[in-house]
Amino acid sequence: MLFKTLRLKHNIRGYGWVVLVLALSACSTVRLGYNQADTLALYFADSYLDLDSEQEAVWRESLKRLVSWHRQNELPLYSKELARVQQGLQAPVQIEQVQALNDSLRASLTRTAHMAAPMLADLMLGLRPEQVTYFRQRLDKSNRDYREEQLAGNDEAQKTRRHERLMTQLERWFGDFNAAQREQIRRWSDARPLRGELWYSERLRRQDELLGLMRWAVQERPPAPVLTQRLKAWIDTWGSTPQPERRALVNESREQMMLLLTQVANLTDISQKRLAVRRVQTWIDDFNVLVAQR
């Protein structure tokens, strides 16, 4: 079916395809990527569910509506948040500012996922049992790839890869870092505990929960509104874990990451901050153009 002959390597793992729509806002060609979001998300869904032509047609129209809603309702909020980032870079950054940005983006993702829940319910109710099996197989492959990429090697190797991923993201904002800055960032990065196995187990738990919903939808064919509510409840618990001890570790890891970002922002010099402000303005301009396109 759609893109069946393509053999592209997925950079987005798992099953949270909604993240794809939002993640496109961070790429270097924002407008191009965002305008192709429905096509890319359809390809992503097809690669995990092996959609037939009728399912593709329904999914395509639903994705177009979702992206249109997101364009009008969430992109303006992104522009406002980025304007706050620009303003925050004019003075020493406080961790509370980073936390506020994180909370805002997580809230946006939740709203978008809630908006997508009815279309996800319709898709699930139209699946065949063999498609659920195919989905499980694709997840298994994705999980094997994840372990190879994220968890292979000893602690030092994992910390090195984690640091390299961090530097790639930071350089998108601030450009190049000098040797002294890189050394300091590496020390901050390495000071954080390795929690790869924790995140991996959380990944598996969420997958199992979603598969349970899919199997229930295919076997029992509940009313669409009932399944939609179950999906929304699952979405609301996405960022948390039921075990208090594990939840504390997850929250601690997020706090450590926000502290690290705060430290890095305050480590940068004036030229790096100015570059970040310019790059943020480019994204704001692109978001404004996208909103105007309707």
Whether the pLDDT of residue 17 is over 70: the answer is no
Say how many C-beta atoms besides its own lie within 10 A of residue 106's C-beta. Answer: 13
pLDDT tens string 82-104: 999 999 998 999 999 999 988 99
- One DSSP character per residue, 147-191 reads IIIII-S-HHHHHHHHHHHHHHHHHHHH----HHHHHHHHHHHHH
pLDDT of residue 29: 63
pTM of the model as a whole = 0.85
Q: How far is CA 35 from CA 30, 39, 52, 60, 133, in A?
A: 8, 9, 24, 14, 32
Residue 175 phi, psi dihedral angles, 5° rounding: 80, -155
Whether the pLDDT of residue 213 is over 60: the answer is yes
| pLDDT tier at 34, thresholds 50, 70, 90 | confident
pLDDT tens string 110-132: 999 999 999 999 999 999 999 99
| pLDDT tier at 74, thresholds 50, 70, 90 | very high
Using a pLDDT cut of 90, give the percent of the chain over it.
71
Distance from C-alpha of 7 to C-alpha of 99, rounded to nearest angstrom: 38
CB-based contacts of 280: which residues, under 8 Å, 6+ apart?
Answer: 82, 85, 86, 173
Burial 194-213 (b: 16+ CB within 10 A, else e): eebeebeebbeebbeebeeb
pLDDT tens string 130-176: 999 999 999 999 999 999 988 999 999 999 999 999 999 999 999 99
Whether the pLDDT of residue 241 is over 80: the answer is no
93 three-state secondary structure: coil
Whether the pLDDT of residue 20 is over 80: the answer is no
User: Between 40 and 191, whose confidence is greater?
Assistant: 191
